[in-house]
Amino acid sequence: MKKKVLDSQFVCTDFVSPVKIDRDELKFRIVAAFYLKKRMNNDSHADNYEDYKVEPCKPASRVTDYVHDHFRIQFNKSLIPKETWGNCYHAGEQSIARRYLDSEMTWIYGVEVAKDSSSLVIEYDEGSIKDRRWWIPLESNKVIIVPSHLKYHISKNKSSEPNFFITTVCGGAQL
């Protein structure tokens, strides 16, 4: 009897180290985009209305390079960024559920996250068991990479401090 695996899903987590990331600059850029109303979409009914364009900068490039290089080394696949944005969630706020069927992987980077305040909730099916959830605690300087077709959201911020994130949706190319 021969066995063929038809579907396997994985999630990667890592702390961006030993690379030094100026997270204060990233936080500043997210806040600036918010105050300047540099939205990804100006239609208030659009899913990405609360996403803000983060201007290219050295700290964002360092995070992107880290994710790209480590993913390539471990999985022999390059991640090609398609779209990047920033979010800030205040006390009691959470993201909407998202998925990207036209991309391969999505990574979420915790720029500044209050301890034990929020999780990334990933929804998936496991064979005949539908609507399973996996909760990954979010932390400052932590990156989580998920397949883009999986639905996910950032859970409610249980802290009194705001949480800041950068998200990038990527295509992929086999090396």
Q: Give residue-wise pLDDT tens across range 105-150.
A: 999 999 999 999 999 999 988 778 888 899 999 999 999 999 999 9
Q: What is the mean pLDDT of residues 18-40?
A: 95
Q: Torsion angle of alpha carbons 154, 156, 161, 164, nearest 10°?
A: 10
Per the listing, tokens 């540099």 go with 38
Which tokens in the block code for residue 172?
A: 């992929």
Selection from 147, 112, 101, 102 nearest residue 29 by Cα? 112
Sketch the domain layout of the chain as residue ranges.
Answer: 20-174
For residue 95, pLDDT over 60 is answered with yes
Domain 20-174 has CATH 3.20.20.70: no
Q: How far apart are CA 103 and CA 7, in angstroms?
A: 17
Q: Residue 117's pLDDT is what?
A: 98
Selection from 167, 148, 169 nearest residue 88 by Cα? 167
Mean pLDDT across the chain: 92
Q: State whether residue 37 is helix, strand or coil.
A: coil
* pTM for the model: 0.92
Give the confidence band of 175 by pLDDT, cuts at 50, 70, 90. Answer: low
Backbone angles phi, psi at 161, to 5 degrees: -95, 150
Q: How far apart are CA 75 and CA 104, in angstroms?
A: 13
Measured between its terminal Cα atoms, the distance across the chain in Å is 32
E-assigned strand segments in the chain: 12-15, 77-89, 105-112, 119-126, 129-137, 142-147, 151-154, 163-174
